[in-house]
């Protein structure tokens, strides 16, 4: 199990989407993303922005240049064909997530599971404390990864501990609501952006090894700084590094296949439950 953790608005979701895009469209590996935070339309828009290298705000406002329409149409075709399954059902339980993952493993040879994010999950039952509940979620995801033999990427919030220190870089001890997340994780990736705390901090065009914004922490070994680390939210596009896509949206949802002058043309997508 891999945990991606950061304070709000640092870029966890975009960073996780990059894993999904890379696995699904670049390597054609079946990937499922359970999004408890963003809706399917927002996810589809971010994926399209990243894949087509078109500004996210341009897509939202519809200020698309004539020469960009062909790129959008081509990109939507790749997105629709890629084996990336998006589930934005609210209030999903562990039992539902486990059942859907097992079904996708059986039907599509599932290779990657992403959950956004851990603290938004709810068991729907009375527990002694929220910390105990999050601990159960963490352990269950660890067991799911072992059962299906696939990596499970779980996003997690950090507490305000880093904001109270002079050095704002996060630590594993800042993981919110549960110390068991650190125990269950095989690797923790901590995202950090100086410009979140220092508004005058310049945003580089490309990351440098001298100013890392991501630290990968294998909990059972030692700190390991990464090199190519700038999250997507630091650029004008929703694109960290690689590529990915979207195909299935549950519960009769719709995704974008083509776009006309008056907005997206929706089309019902494949539902693996049928």
pLDDT at 74: 81
The dihedral through the CA atoms of 233, 236, 240, 243 has a sign that is positive
Residue 102 has pLDDT above 90, yes or no: yes
End-to-end CA distance of the chain: 29
Higher pLDDT, 81 or 268: 81
Segment 177-191 shows an average pLDDT of 78
Do 11 and 161 touch, CB atoms closer than 8 A? no
Contact 116, 35 (CB under 8 A): yes
Whether the per-residue pLDDT at 4 is higher than 80: the answer is yes
User: Which pair of structure tokens corresponds to residue 96?
Assistant: 């539902």
Q: Show me where the domains of the chain are located.
A: 2-187+234-268
Residue 211: pLDDT over 80:
no
Are 138 and 181 a contacting pair, CB within 8 Å?
yes
Of 229 and 38, which is predicted with more confidence?
38
Cβ neighbour number for residue 270 with a 10 Å cutoff: 12
Q: Which residues does residue 15 pair with via DSSP β-bridges, in sequence order?
A: none
Question: Is the distance from CB of 228 to CB of 235 less than 8 angstroms?
Answer: no
Q: Are 112 and 156 in contact (CB under 8 A)?
A: no
CA distance 133 to 72: 43
pTM of the complete model: 0.70
Exposure b/e, 142-163, CB count within 10 A at least 16 = b: bebbeebebbbbbbbbbeeebe
Fold of 2-187+234-268: Rossmann fold (3.40.50)
Tokens of 125: 């039952």
Check pLDDT > 90 for residue 148. Answer: yes
């Amino acid at each position: 199990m891999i945990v991606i953790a950061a304070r709000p608005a640092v870029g966890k979701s975009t960073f996780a989407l990059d894993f999904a895009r890379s696995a699904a469209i670049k390597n054609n590996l079946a990937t499922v993303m359970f999004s408890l935070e963003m809706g399917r339309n927002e996810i589809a828009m971010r994926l399209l922005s990243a894949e087509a290298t078109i500004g996210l705000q341009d897509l939202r406002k519809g200020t698309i240049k004539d020469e960009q329409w062909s790129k959008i149409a081509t990109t939507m075709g790749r997105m629709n064909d890629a084996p990336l399954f998006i589930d934005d059902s609210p209030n999903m339980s562990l039992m539902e997530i486990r059942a859907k993952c097992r079904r996708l493993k059986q039907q599509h040879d599932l290779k990657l599971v992403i959950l956004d994010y851990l603290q938004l999950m709810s068991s729907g039952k009375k527990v002694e404390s929220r910390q105990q509940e999050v601990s159960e979620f963490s352990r269950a995801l660890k067991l799911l990864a072992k059962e299906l033999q696939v990596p499970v990427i779980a996003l997690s919030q950090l507490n305000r501990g880093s904001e109270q220190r002079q050095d704002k870089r996060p630590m594993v001890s800042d993981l919110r609501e549960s110390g068991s997340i650190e125990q269950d994780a095989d690797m923790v990736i901590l995202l950090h952006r100086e410009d979140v705390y220092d508004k005058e901090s310049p945003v580089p065009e490309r990351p440098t090894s001298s100013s890392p914004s991501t630290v990968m922490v294998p909990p059972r070994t030692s700190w390991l700084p990464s090199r190519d680390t700038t999250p997507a939210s630091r650029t004008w596009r929703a694109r960290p590094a690689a590529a990915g896509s979207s195909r299935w949206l549950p519960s009769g949802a719709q995704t974008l296949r083509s776009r006309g002058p008056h907005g997206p043309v929706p089309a019902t997508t494949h539902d693996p439950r049928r």
